[in-house]
Amino acid sequence: MEHENTADELALFDATSRHAISLWKKSRNITGRSDDPKMFSILLFKRLLSNHRGYALLFNEKLQTESDIVLRSGIETSICLAANYELREKFVLLLHGDAIFTLKGQIKMCRDEGSAEMVSHSEAALRDVQSRFQGDVKPARLDWKSLAEHGRVPHLYSWHRMLSGLSSHVTGASILTAVAPADGPNPADDLTPLQRKMHLMMMAGATLQGCLRHGGMLSDETACGETVELLTRLSDLSWDWPGVTGRPQGAG
């Protein structure tokens, strides 16, 4: 079965790229306090745009595994943008808690390995992070499921889990599905083109979800309206995707 991206899908991805770049141009010269959720939105959006552009380069080179790894990172960033928009200062606390948790783990690992210089550098970084926020911060990893629920983007967490199990991580499923049987058809012959088609649309969807929250954080009604138009185009295209049924009467 053929699973090629349609001209409309490719045009939607290119329009999403242009829209994200335009929104970034409005963001890059904004200044503010280091604990302002708006500034965190800018930092996250810069990363999302980098993920989006990196994905496009790898996609064009037909590097499926590598592009999937970047896609998963982009989905994580979009989840954070959504959670930051909904939670504001609470998300800032969660991000600080994750940084403290990570640095404490690094310090322990480096100390166990006898790397005094790395311990010193990590401790300095930890003190810097702790000094940025005057409050009770609980050290804890970011919980992607919880963040997606708070950000009202549960479908992004579903994509995140799927990519983690089937392509972005080294798992039994990701390795064994690439092994061709000695006799008979290879299931990967259909799976890989389907993933390539659908993952491009996932990257567009993740980027647009990030655009919507970032535009909202900037109170940019024009940008939000443009994002909604692109999300509507994406939704319309989805009715023709493999396995999708129940197209409303008159749609398309």
* CA dist., res. 216 & res. 224, Å (int): 7
Q: Which residues of 218-239 are buried (b: 16+ CB within 10 A; e: fewer)?
A: bebeebbebbeebbebbeebee
* Cα distance from N-terminal residue to C-terminal residue, the chain: 23
Tell me the C-alpha to C-alpha distance, in Å, between residue 73 and each of 57, 116, 144: 15, 31, 12
- Whole-number pLDDT of residue 188: 63
- Whole-number pLDDT of residue 174: 63
Count the Cβ atoms, other than its own, within 10 Å of residue 168: 21
Token reading at 208: 């647009």
134-184: pLDDT as tens digits: 667 889 999 999 999 999 999 999 999 999 887 776 776 666 666 666 676
83-94: pLDDT as tens digits: 999 999 999 999
The model's pTM: 0.89
Token reading at 42: 């800018």
- Whole-number pLDDT of residue 181: 67
pLDDT > 90 in the chain, percent: 72
CA Rg value for the chain: 20
* CA dist., res. 12 & res. 117, Å (int): 49
Tell me if 137 sits within 8 A of 100, measured CB to CB. Answer: yes
* CA dist., res. 85 & res. 234, Å (int): 22
- Whole-number pLDDT of residue 187: 62
- Whole-number pLDDT of residue 86: 98
* CA dist., res. 211 & res. 221, Å (int): 12
* CA dist., res. 231 & res. 176, Å (int): 35
Query: Which residues have a Cβ under 8 Å from the Cβ of 192 and sit 6 or more positions away?
Result: 64
The two most distant CA atoms of the chain are separated, in Å, by 68
Q: Which residue has the tokens 């940019």?
A: 220
Low-confidence ranges of the chain (pLDDT < 70): 1-2, 134-135, 169, 172-182, 184-190, 246-252
Side-chain-side CA neighbours of residue 14 (13 Å): 8
Tell me if 150 sits within 8 A of 87, measured CB to CB. Answer: yes
Report residue 251 CA to chain centroid gap: 30
- Whole-number pLDDT of residue 180: 63
